[in-house]
Amino acid sequence: MSVLPRWTVKLRGRQKLLKTAAGKTAFWRARWLKAPADSEERSRAFHMLKAAKGLLVKRRAQVAEAERVVARHSASTEFGGSRAVTDEVIRIVDNRAPVTSRKRAANHALSIGNPSSDHSGLNKLADAVDFGIAEAHALKNEISRKLGGPAQLEDFGTFTTRRNGHSFRVQIIAGTHGTGPHLHVGVKRQ
Ligand SMILES: [Zn+2]
């Protein structure tokens, strides 16, 4: 079975497990709240709740991972597949910062000023995304790690990631540059 159907099944299974874990957490929270103070019952409910919460965190991470795999494999083929990678970056950032720029027309002032930019419409195999967030070095490292790059990526650093049989060069810039404070992620098919 290829990746997409296998992970789609896996995602459904993981979603069910997450639901169960959420139910158990709610159950033990209710028991804990109801139990009389200093009772054996309350102490037991406390430990069960703690374990349930731990499992819930793990289940959430498993669902998130499966969602990313499914999304990656049902991905856009625009810009040589680079759009699929920037789409993935947007899902990783997950509303922690707004998207402030993406692909720009070749005749856009910023494209003319910097024709080699991954944002520029001239570069048909590249895509880029900017987020309105200053000095987001931790987020830079998180994106790198989740795309299969180094856990600590130097600013302006690049790495290669493989998607759907192709290699993509990813560059991430968190420090202030170009058009003011933002987090830049540029992707180009090799
Ligand atoms: Zn940018």
Any alpha helices (H) in 147-183, and if so which ranges? none
Q: In angstroms, what is the span from residue 164 Cα to ligand 1's centroid? A: 24
Q: In angstroms, what is the span from residue 172 Cα to ligand 1's centroid? A: 9
How many Cα neighbours within 13 Å face the side chain of 123?
Answer: 23
Q: In angstroms, what is the span from residue 170 Cα to ligand 1's centroid? A: 12
Q: Which pLDDT does position 1 carry in this prediction?
A: 63
Nearest-10 Cα torsion for 114, 116, 118, 120: 60
pTM of the prediction?
A: 0.64
Q: In angstroms, what is the span from residue 128 Cα to ligand 1's centroid? A: 6
Task: With both helix axes pointing from N to C terminus, report the angle between 40-73 and 82-93 in degrees, rounded to the nearest 10.
Answer: 160
Q: In angstroms, what is the span from residue 43 Cα to ligand 1's centroid? A: 53
List of the chain residues with pLDDT < 70: 1
In the chain, domain spans = 3-73, 78-189
Strand partners, 163: 166
pLDDT digits (tens, 9 = 90+) for 81-101: 999 999 999 999 998 999 999
Residue 79 gets the label, from left (phi > 0), alpha (psi -120 to 50) or beta, of: left
